[in-house]
A and B are shown apart, each in its own frame.
Chain A
Amino acid sequence: MNYFWDLFLGGITRGSIYALIALGYTMVYGILELINFAHGEIYMIGAFTALIAASLLTMQGLSGPAVLVLATVVAVLYAAAYGFTVEKIAYKPLRQAPRLSPLISAIGMSIFLQNYVMLAQTSDFLPFPNLLQNVELPAFLNTWIAPAEFMIILTAASLMLGLTLILKFTKMGKAMRAVAQDRTMAMLLGVNVNRIISRTFIVGSVLAAIGGVLIASHVGRINFYIGFGAGIKAFTAAVLGGIGSIPGAMLGGLVLGLTESFATGYISSDYENVFAFALLILILILKPEGILGRSSQQKV
């Protein structure tokens, strides 16, 4: 039972990170019908920025939660700037181009950002300070869950709740949904579509950066390549849940995380990816639009 619980928590932890990154994929797809392959790199840049910020802050004599919070803030700002810029450079000029062009541009952006970080930093793994360990949990929680896992799940859940509320109730959220459902109509009502697209990239980047900080301090090391693996997994989660669907990305992340965790725990860690992608294939055969996805017949 205990072993099961550990695997379950591990799966939820991993899954909530996948979900955070998957939201960026699904929101951009919902609005532009573009798979932003550079999104994983934003997550990686978030982790690197946090590492640099945390090192600097520690040198200044700060410690504990202050480092965690400040490093996260710096990472979020930096990643948001990157997400915003990537859209302006790599996608906006191709808005009217055939659909394959922005896709190729996205892959190019991803390769560029990986190599840029490799050259600017290093190709080796760098140790990442375990910022989450310092958190003290109340005793009754401590027996059930490790502080790092608790922090990750709590942060991810709050962010997802926040995003849901923003989309449901704020003017910007409604405009985002309107642009996703009918871009021309949104323009006819006075929505500045370019601004909404920029904000979508910024929101996605913020979520990815926070995901990057959380997982990096949980795993304890990073390199320039972590964005690729996490990006592929999060993209899988988004497709699994139904690309374009916000709750789908959240659910897809958790399902994928749990599947990997249980496959690793009960069978072998060698089969982690086998099960992850077998699940994807299975879902795509049984329900091609994803678990919560709508079939794409909206546009008449």
Chain B
Amino acid sequence: MLKLIDVQTCYGNIRSLKGVSLTVAEGEIVSLIGANGAGKTTTLMSISGIVAASSGQIIFNQQRIERTDPDKIVAAGISQVPEGRRIFPGMSVLENLEMGAFLREDSRKTREDMEYVFDLFPILNKRRHQAGGTLSGGEQQMLAISRALMARPKLLLLDEPSLGLSPLLTNQIFEMIKKINTEQHMTIFLVEQNAYMALKLSHRGYVMENGSIILEGKAAALLTDSNVKKAYLGI
């Protein structure tokens, strides 16, 4: 479904992605793990078209998208929940969700999807008229995921959904990610620093270091890999 071939991305003179290649197949949860500054967020921002890849190919459903504008990429079916959630602070929960459905014209189905996310996260329904900026961290993460789902994407990109959340809330969010994957057959590409949680949830995983993929494989295999254990799992 998604394929990156030797993608390089530069910020000014700094090359932050040094030839990244990876694939995500339909229905999978794939995680990209690695330390701070390894280039995980840049990978997602390159896929979403926010930062332009300087070379290489990004292919989504047989279409090259590395030169495509961000709004066209969303229209093609890729939604991202960025790092730090980026809820519109001055807009209500409802308006944030409506913004998620910005490109959709089918208002009846949009309303059904809103019911679905309210089912997933009932707390959002309770807070629907509250300003996004007044929600707690966990609620904001739920809203951010729901907002991305409102676009009815084919591929969901998640950047550090566990960031700043308590272990209990992290568990809850990850369970929901699993549920979205199985119930909606949503393909999910997940970026995480919390390698253990991410690999437990995923089918496959990639390990990133200094802008390159250094290891890939089945999530279960990575969990027992001695290098991964030492570097990322702290075992």
Check if B151 sits within 8 Å of A190, measured CB to CB. yes
- CB-CB under 8 A from A188, the residues of chain B are 48, 50, 70, 74, 79-80, 82, 86
- Taking each of B48, B82, B86, B95, which has the highest tally of chain A beta carbons within 10 Å of its own beta carbon? B86
- CB-CB under 8 A from A191, the residues of chain B are 71, 99, 102
Q: What is the CB-to-nearest-CB distance from B16 to chain A, in angstroms, rounded to a whole number?
A: 17
Q: What is the CB-to-nearest-CB distance from B234 to chain A, in angstroms, rounded to a whole number?
A: 28
- CB-CB under 8 A from B89, the residues of chain A are 181, 298
Q: What is the CB-to-nearest-CB distance from A64 to chain B, in angstroms, rounded to a whole number?
A: 44
Check if A181 sits within 8 Å of B69, measured CB to CB. no
Interface residues on B, range: 20 to 34
Interface residues on A, range: 10 to 19
User: Which chain A residue lies CB-closest to B101?
Assistant: A189
Check if B75 sits within 8 Å of A190, measured CB to CB. yes
- CB-CB under 8 A from B80, the residues of chain A are 188
Pick the contact of A184 from B86, B90, B91, B151 — CB < 8 Å?
B86
Check if A184 sits within 8 Å of B102, measured CB to CB. no
Pick the contact of B86 from A171, A185, A190 — CB < 8 Å?
A185
Check if B99 sits within 8 Å of A174, measured CB to CB. yes
- CB-CB under 8 A from B50, the residues of chain A are 184, 187-188
Check if A190 sits within 8 Å of B88, measured CB to CB. no
**Mostly helix, strand, loop or mixed at chain A's interface?**
helix
Pick the contact of B71 from A174, A181, A192, A298 — CB < 8 Å?
A192
In angstroms, Cα B101 to Cα A191, docked, is: 10
- CB-CB under 8 A from A184, the residues of chain B are 50, 82, 86
> B107-122 CB contact bits vs A (8 Å, 1 = yes)?
0000000000000000
- CB-CB under 8 A from B103, the residues of chain A are 189-190
In angstroms, Cα B99 to Cα A188, docked, is: 10
Which A residues between 173 and 203 are near B, CB-CB below 8 angstroms?
Answer: 174-175, 177-178, 181-182, 184-192
Pick the contact of A181 from B79, B82, B90 — CB < 8 Å?
B90
Check if B74 sits within 8 Å of A177, measured CB to CB. no
User: Which chain A residue lies CB-closest to B70?
Assistant: A187
In angstroms, Cα B146 to Cα A113, docked, is: 47
Which B residues between 45 and 82 are near A, CB-CB below 8 angstroms?
Answer: 48, 50, 69-71, 74-75, 79-80, 82
- CB-CB under 8 A from A300, the residues of chain B are 84
- CB-CB under 8 A from A192, the residues of chain B are 69, 71
* B40 interfacial by beta-carbon distance below 8 Å: no
* B39 interfacial by beta-carbon distance below 8 Å: no
- CB-CB under 8 A from B71, the residues of chain A are 187, 190-192
Check if A177 sits within 8 Å of B102, measured CB to CB. no
- CB-CB under 8 A from B48, the residues of chain A are 187-188
User: Which chain B residue lies CB-closest to A187?
Assistant: B70
Q: Which 9 A-B pairs have the closest CB atoms?
A: A190-B74, A190-B103, A185-B86, A187-B70, A181-B88, A190-B71, A192-B71, A188-B80, A190-B102
B residues adjacent to A (C-beta < 8 A): 48, 50, 69-71, 74-75, 79-80, 82, 84, 86, 88-91, 95, 98-100, 102-103, 147, 151
A residues adjacent to B (C-beta < 8 A): 171, 174-175, 177-178, 181-182, 184-192, 298, 300
21 contacts between A and B (CB under 8 A): A174-B99, A178-B88, A181-B89, A181-B90, A182-B86, A182-B88, A184-B82, A185-B88, A187-B48, A188-B50, A188-B79, A188-B86, A189-B74, A189-B79, A189-B151, A190-B74, A190-B102, A190-B151, A191-B71, A191-B99, A192-B69
What 4 new A-B contacts, CB under 8 Å, besides A184-B86, A187-B48, A190-B70?
A189-B74, A189-B99, A191-B99, A192-B69
